[in-house]
Structure 1
């Protein structure tokens, strides 16, 4: 493994930690909007108010342990896979936006390997509402392992995570690179921090717009008491149909507004932390 890949792994870890710390409260609101029983909440602001009133402010950080523990691996894998995908697609450093989209899609598919269990634990923690029967993360992990094993328990929702990550990261990296290149044309290679933040936020918004209905399906599948049946195509199609029957077409976008709000600070901090760390490591290692 060369130094450039090591730099991407380390910078990805720093960027991932920044993303979790900044974005977790709105992620909790998003997940609860997707999976809560119909009529339990009136909307995102009601979720926020009820969560704080009934469970306390730090309930907004439920499920943070899973992504915070796993985010180093997840984001390291994502950024390293993206770097390797770019080099596999073209030997030239400046890729076209179509090539960027292809590299992002490839990185997203690889990223799902670690993102799937991290997301599953996070969703199951966020889907608890402060009752006496709420479980700790280790209890959730033990339960999923003992009852369902790896494929149907720990990796539940893997294929829907793959289906989500491919368009999500194609959109994410394309929007980020497009925005970054526009700023570079104005300010040169040494971009101000606010330009990196803006580019990251643009990428984050594109991420959710590219994949959101699939994210709703993923959350529902991962929270359910029993694993899905049938092939991935069958259970994804069945879940999409169930959502439409229950809530109409708008049900496919429940929780989108907090997701978009979360994407602005979360993705901005991710990419700013990643780019700044990578630049520091580049100067330190010379690669």
Structure 2
């Protein structure tokens, strides 16, 4: 397998691990972000019962697997590009693999940029399914939602909220991969080990730390994204916000600062488990693939 094929495959493994671990918390986060204050008395009430924690899982299981695959594919490709530049300049240690902070951040931004092409519609459909009524659902599943939204609103409808999604992905993944890769590089340098000798426990811990860094930067942006992606498509279908900026202004004026952090508790609980699982899945899969 080529290096890119290995990166994409290992990224898919990481994405599946992320969904299986993080989905119950994610559904609570989305519902709390898009509801008014006092709608839910707690996390279980918000989900609608234990079985509802995995509602709408099919879309993220398939879509997020692809998204994380693209993230790691773009990340590793950009890292190799910078490593080659480092070798040409005689810096970066063996193979130029010790990247600077700015190189790691840009690598993360490229991962977010590539990822946003798929993550925008995937998350839009997922959020629509997670927030629709249990008693009178609009869509029977992800494919039904895709067909109906595309039929009524075209590709633009599927990419609703894409501007704020792009902002979230680029800024968030820049920080996310900067945090993780910096911690990994530090351990490799301090212990004099190869990357494939990184402790699985540390992969989980560094992934958890990267997840907290990610959400510290993007949570308010993510809340606006959720609002935009659950908003009506036109005034006739209950559209509340004319644009992303109008959404920010309206939420701030009508609900105050607290609205921008609503649902953060399940996110903070979810983050170390989901992101730790993501990086553990990727690192372990790469090791297996490298031995084939």
Same fold (TM over 0.5): yes
Name the structure 1 match of 2:12.
13
Give the equivalent residue in structure 2 for 1:204: 211
Deviation digits for residues 106-145 of structure 1, max 9, x if unmatched? 1101110000011001110111242233532233222211
TM-score by length of 1: 0.89
Alpha-carbon distance in structure 1 between the residues aligned to 2:248 and 2:179: 27
Aligned to 1:95: 99
Q: Give the TM-score, by structure 2 length.
A: 0.87
Identify the residue that residue 68 of structure 2 maps to in structure 1. 75
Q: How far, CA to CA, are the matches of 2:178 and 2:8 in structure 1?
A: 20
SS at match of 1:135: coil
The 3-state SS of whatever aligns with 1:149 is: helix
The Cα of 1:6 is off from its aligned counterpart by 0.5
Whole-angstrom distance in 1 between the partners of 2:121 and 2:5: 24
Unaligned runs of 5+ in 1: 229-233
Structure 1 residues 51 and 211, CA, compared in 2 at 3 Å: closer, same or farther? closer
Change (3 A) 1:130 1:86: same
Residues 163/201 of structure 1: CA separation in 2 closer, same or farther (3 Å cut)? same
Question: What CA distance in whole angstroms lies between the structure 2 residues aligned with 1:87 and 1:182?
Answer: 18
Return the offset for 1:68. 0.7
1:246 corresponds to = 254
Structure 2 gaps of 5+ residues are 85-95, 236-241
Matches within 5 A, 1:22-61: 22-42=21-41, 46=42, 48-51=43-46, 55-61=48-54
Cα displacement (A) at 1:38: 3.5
Decide whether the 8 Å contact of 2:56 with 2:126 is kept in 1.
Answer: yes
Shift in Å, 1:181: 2.9
> How many Å separate the matches in 2 of 1:122 and 1:19?
15
Number of the residue aligned with 1:148:
153
Is 219-228 or 23-32 further displaced after alignment? 219-228
- Residue number in structure 2 paired with 1:231: none
Count the aligned residue pairs: 271
Q: Distance in 1 between matches of 2:56 and 2:164?
A: 20
Aligned twin of 2:223: 216
In 2, the alpha carbon distance for the partners of 1:183 and 1:129 equals 48
